[in-house]
Structure 1
Amino acid sequence: MTQFLPIIYVRGFAGGTRGIDKAVDDPFYGFNEGSTHVRVGAHGNALFYQFESPLLRLMMDYGYELKVRGDQQRLLNEAGSDSMPPRTIWVYRFYDPSASTFDHPPLPYRIEDAARGLADYIHKVLDKTKDADQVYLVAHSMGGLVCRSAIQRFMYTPNQALGPEEVAAGEGFAPDPAHQEHVNLSGKVTPPFPVSKVVTYGTPHGGIDIDLGGSIGDWFVETFGPNGSDIFKEPRMRDYLSPEGQEDFHPPGGWDPRVPYFSALPAERYLSLVGTNPGDYDVALGWSSRAVGVKSDGLVQIRNAYVKGSNRAYIHRSHSGRYGLVNSEEGYQNLQRFLFGNLKIAISLSDLDLDLTDGAVWQADVGLAIRGVPVLMHYQSATAHCPVVLSEENRDTPLNPVPLVTAFLLPKEDPAEPRRYALDLRVYCLREDRGFLSFGSHLEQVADWQDALLVDVSTQADGTIGSARYQWNSTLAGAIAKAGTLDKELMWRRAPDDTAASPSFVARVDIPPVAESVLGPNAHLSVGIGHWE
């Protein structure tokens, strides 16, 4: 059953006093900003496309209400019993105390203060909301770090099922799924963790690697303040992403800011939206992609833009601006499916047997399209500097499996009507000789194998998985979008990690025979599907 919980929006870093003053002038901190430009014309030219904003879409599509009454914070502080419906949107206005436009001296901004305030704000929303004991957090840029700091530093309680030595050793993180109650050593049942899911747009979970030279350094100081770069370096990230007293925690393999240590919210409850277009961010700000490089959204590097173990969607959008992540159809389509979807589907390539001799590097471009949706839900490619590198996992044994894409399925008014998905795959091999590409065996942008898998999924009236049929595009006659009933049926079986409380299923999709000489005789796609709360 779909849960419509309160949504709290947490915006990103606003910069210095001038940026903060501009941010607080907006009643909704930018969550109401839409767009009218999209890069779908010939040669990537801009065309008009009206996206209303995530705020309006949530209100129109799902009946969410925006309660303001002059001051949302004052509304939450009003005395009285719970009175608000769960389908409400709240904007956490943590910059207001640091603005110079109100009649009080502006306070310095600190991420820990914002995070501590967010933890308190979450509880105030829940105290004021009837029939809800959890919230959804939606954050842009550094707002995602504010969310993680609130969860990991100010809402962390050691797992009492572990001893103090184990907790001190760092084994107490992610003790329980957020949606489950649990019993501690005293036998007392504790309520669910107050946060159910977190969506982050372009958040620098792994920090930002900056080359602060010349005018680029001037731009960065102007944007983030004289000490702003410290926010994205390990010492400061340790401070605000660790519980008090655990800042010096040293896990095996080294500390990684992308890992949600000391968190009651597992990584799988995060959706990391990763931008892959740095060029359009330069249109807005000028110097940023020179500082962070092309493998970024113009501000945050692709490798740093996700929580490890989280669900990810790669979107060819920039960090912000008229072609930004938040004010995009792509972002909203992923947001609504993650929050309100009832099924989770994951597709992987299994039992690959690749030719890894002579410095071979195997990569894959992956795109996910849904019939009726005007954008790609997910897009990883070499041209966007984020292909799936098939050969980097293990060079000695068959790779099993290599994750390709994760998606969430929305419930439909007519459950029997199948939803059509298309997974576009391009696999190609590059060979290097002493660090240089060997062009003698190379055909630029020509795949060794490519095809598109069509899948039609229908659900039962109770939202559980029904039938699913599939077919490769290479075997279709006519247009891919207009194809009728697909040839083959997915044969579901219980997944090895299946539980009675959360059933899940897997199915095998054989690759076309022509691809066996490229991927190996036993290569196939594994399709997993399960209930998503």
Structure 2
Amino acid sequence: MPTVEPPYFPIIYVRGYAATDGEIEDTVATPYMGFNLGATKSRQDHDGKINRFIFESPLLRLMKDEGYIDTYRDGDYVKGAAPARSVWVFRYYEPSSNDLGDGKRRQMVAFATDLRRFILSVRDKVCGDDPQARERFQVYLVAHSMGGLISRCYLQNVCIHGSGDKARDEQLGLPGASLVDKVFTYGTPHNGIDIRGLNVPDLGLTRALEADTFNRGDMARYLAIDGQPARVDTLDGHFPPERFFCCIGTNYNDYTAFFGLARKGTGPMSDGLVMIGNAAVSGAPRAFVHRSHSGAYGLVNSEEGYQNLRRFLFGQFRVDARLVIDAITLPPAIEKAVGGATGRHRVNAAYYIETEAAVRGARYFLHQRRFDQSSALMKNYDELVHGHDPLYLFTGYLHEGAKMPESHDRALAFQLRLAIQVPAYEIDNAFWFDEHYPGDYIFDETLTFEIRPRQTPLSISYGLASRHAPRRAPKKIASDDLTIAADGSLHFEIALGFDRQSANPPAPGFSGRLQISASPWNG
């Protein structure tokens, strides 16, 4: 009987939304429902130049990199035993197909109930009657777009409350344990879909096409969230958010579905369909990549999306980055114009915080938010000066098996660029142009980190490009500067920008601290 041992659990892919009957038929006519689609182009250059980059597909890469197999044999799912390292496609649209089903559209609870049945069938094929294997059995859910909402409906509603059919629930062991270890979503509208600032309505044509699935009122019902919440991006305590990763797209320009109408409706700060602010579960780790919702430049068929997926499922270390703002100085002419500190309430400005994270030797970014890609984190002057909570930047995972073969250093290395841009200042709601250049950066630094997990105690070093040369990490974090939490995670801070004790700080300028947490992942 195949061994069931973490982190190598079966992977179940849950595809996204099909709007029309024709799209449903096209969907069920394909075996892997998009998980086998690769790409040959990337859009990472700042000038939009298209580069040739061959990405084989998540399915093939999981086979090559982690030893997984697909599960189709002799025209159907495998009949006999299947290994734990297996990829399964949840074909939830088949019952709604005119060709393979009855042609009737299903609701989310029905999809989620079918997911329960599918997970149990996978358990039977992987574990058979082995009680120890069945006890250890878990799956990974990997979902695109609406597939993430089906996964949440399963976790938050069906596993907690059942499907509403007593006989069926008894057969499926509902309510009951989800048997899900981790969830990874690409471009899922966890807080619904907004078009021109309005949530998708629950009426008329949208209901006929099941687009009301993305209306927050409907979402609250099928996610079993009580009341009429303003946001529906909570797991409501029914699944640990740290085991739920959200990959968020930022390339709205290359989304061409629905004749480009969705892209025009959402605009910047979106993947062309889902707004950045709606694409994550509250409290869950996340990364932003410059990819569109789907298509040739889509999230699923991208190296960036795959690398986040692989590292989240199988990596050894989780790294979280947050930024603390200690001080922001203004240009001298503005200080003079408003009368110094007493008049700063008259000042406003949008500060765009750019972040880019990459691993050594890679041709992709694990995470990227840039002003010129309309995805940078934006905070106004008052929020930065008077805000007290650290700003969450991103979460990444380091995987020893994913190191570049050319690297002879045993360290797990990654690089983080952090920059703050101020396009324009305002005084009393009027733009101020004296001594200002559009797009000024008040801070721009690249940090290199190296983690050596084989050393005892764990060794972490870093370097700043402005002080220690690019791609170097000569400064070791002293034990006195490390805080070790009860869960074994390490926490430290790195001072950035000008020294707050300086008598003549740069103006404009920034002073702050980068907070890094490094936690063991996957045991």
Provide the TM-score with structure 1 as the length reference.
Answer: 0.80
1:188-225: per-residue Cα shift (whole Å, max 9, x none)? xx997511111110111110112599xx99xx95xx67
Distance 1:137 1:387 in 2: 29
Q: Is the 8 A contact 1:361 1:431 kept in 2?
A: yes
- Considering only aligned residues, what root-mean-square deviation do their CA atoms show, in Å? 3.3
Q: State the SS of the aligned residue for 1:45.
A: coil
Instruction: Provide Cα deviations, 1:169-202, integer angstroms capped at 9, x if missing partner.
Output: xxxxxxxxxxxxxxxxxxxxx9975111111101
User: Would you say the 8 A contact 1:352–1:400 is kept in 2?
Assistant: no
The answer on whether the counterparts of 1:133 and 1:192 sit within 8 Å (CA) in structure 2 is: no
Alignment correspondent of 1:488: 475
The partner residue of 2:286 within 312, 316, 322 is: 312
Tell me the amino acid that sits aligned with residue 356 of structure 2. Answer: G
- Which structure 2 residue ranges, 5 or more long, are not aligned? 128-132, 163-174, 330-343
Q: Which residue of 2 aligns with 1:349?
A: 323
CA drift of 1:59 comes to 0.6
| In 2: Cα distance, 1:415 partner to 1:467 partner | 17
Q: Is the 8 A contact 2:497 2:512 kept in 1?
A: no
Equivalence for 2:182: 197
Counterpart in 1 of 2:218?
236
1:123 aligns with 2:97: no
Q: Is the 8 A contact 1:491 1:508 kept in 2?
A: no
Question: Does the C-alpha gap of structure 1 residues 149 and 514 become closer, same or farther in structure 2, counting only changes over 3 Å?
Answer: same
1:419 alignment partner in structure 2: 412
- Work out whether 1:269 is the aligned partner of 2:243: yes
Structure 2 Cα separation of the partners of residues 41 and 211 of structure 1: 28
**C-alpha deviation, 1:319, in angstroms:** 0.5
Aligned to 1:428: 421
Structure 2 CA distance, aligned partners of 1:97 and 1:425?
48
Secondary structure in 2 matching 1:22 = helix
Query: Could you list the per-position Cα deviations for residues 82-122 of structure 1 after superposition, in whole angstroms to 9, with x for gaps in the alignment?
Result: x43211111000011111223x5322232221111112222
CA contact (8 A) 2:495 2:514 kept: yes
Mapping for residues 175-254 of structure 1, pairs under 5 Å: 193-211=178-196, 226-242=208-224, 248-249=226-227, 254=229
Kept in 2: contact 1:11–1:142 (CA 8 A) = yes
> Are residue 68 (structure 1) and residue 72 (structure 2) matched?
yes
Structure 1: distance between partners of 2:208 and 2:428: 42
Q: Matched residues in 2 for 1:149 and 1:369: separation? A: 33
| CA distances 1:438-482 after superposition (whole Å, capped 9, x unpaired) | 344642222011111111221117xx87212111101245xx34x
1:129 Cα offset (Å): 1.9
Structure 1 residue aligned with 2:106: 109
Q: Is the CA contact 1:460–1:466 (under 8 Å) kept in the aligned structure 2?
A: yes
Q: Distance in 2 between matches of 1:394 and 1:238?
A: 30
Q: Is the 8 A contact 2:160 2:176 kept in 1?
A: no
Q: Residue 353 of structure 1 aligns to a residue in which SS? A: strand
Q: Which amino acid aligns with 1:139?
A: A
Q: Which of 310-319 and 290-299 deviates more?
A: 290-299
CA-to-aligned-CA distance 1:41-78 (integer Å, 9 cap, x gap):
68322222110000000011000011212455573xx7
Match of 1:257 in 2: 232
**Separation in 1 of the partners of 2:88 and 2:157?**
22
CA distance in 2, matches of 1:524, 1:255: 33
Find the aligned partners of 2:227 and 2:257 in 1 and give their Cα distance: 41
| Alignment-derived partner of residue 322 in structure 1 | 296
Say if 1:395 and 1:194 are closer, same or farther in 2 by CA, change over 3 A: same
| Post-superposition offset of 1:491 | 2.5
Question: Which amino acid in the other structure matches residue 401 of structure 1?
Answer: P
- Of 450, 457, 461, the match for 1:469: 461
Q: Number of matched residues? A: 472
Mapped contact 1:315–1:330 kept (Cα < 8 A): yes
Higher mean C-alpha deviation, range 195-204 or range 231-240: 231-240
Where structure 1 has 5 or more consecutive residues not aligned to the other structure, the ranges are 159-189
What does residue 453 of structure 2 align with? 459
Partner SS state of residue 235, structure 2: coil
3-state SS, counterpart of residue 290 of structure 1: helix
Q: Measure, in 1, the Cα distance between the counterparts of 2:497 and 2:270.
A: 34
How far 1:29 sits from its partner (Å)? 0.7
TM-score of the pair, normalised by structure 2: 0.81
TM-aligned CA deviation for residue 373 of structure 1:
1.5
1:240 to partner: Cα distance:
1.1
Query: Which whole-Å CA distance do the structure 2 matches of 1:405 and 1:373 have between them?
Result: 18
Q: CA deviation at 1:404?
A: 2.1
Counterpart of 1:450? Answer: 444
Return the alpha-carbon distance in structure 2 between the equivalents of residues 359 and 476 of structure 1: 35
Instruction: State the match for 2:391 in structure 1.
Output: 402
Q: Identical aligned pairs, as a percentage?
A: 32
Q: Which moved more, 1:109-118 or 1:393-402?
A: 393-402
Pairwise CA distance, 1:229: 3.3
Distance in 1, matches of 2:464 and 2:511, equals 17
Structure-1 separation of matches of 2:412 and 2:304: 18
Q: CA deviation at 1:437?
A: 4.3
Whichever residue aligns with residue 458 of structure 2, its letter is G
Could you say which residue in structure 1 is the equivalent of 2:25? 21
Which shifted more, 338-347 or 410-419?
A: 410-419
Q: Distance in 1 between matches of 2:12 and 2:123?
A: 11
Kindly indicate whether the alpha-carbon contact (under 8 Å) linking 1:206 and 1:305 is maintained by their aligned counterparts in 2.
Answer: yes
How far residue 363 of structure 1 moved from its aligned partner, in angstroms, is: 3.0
Partner residue of 2:337? none
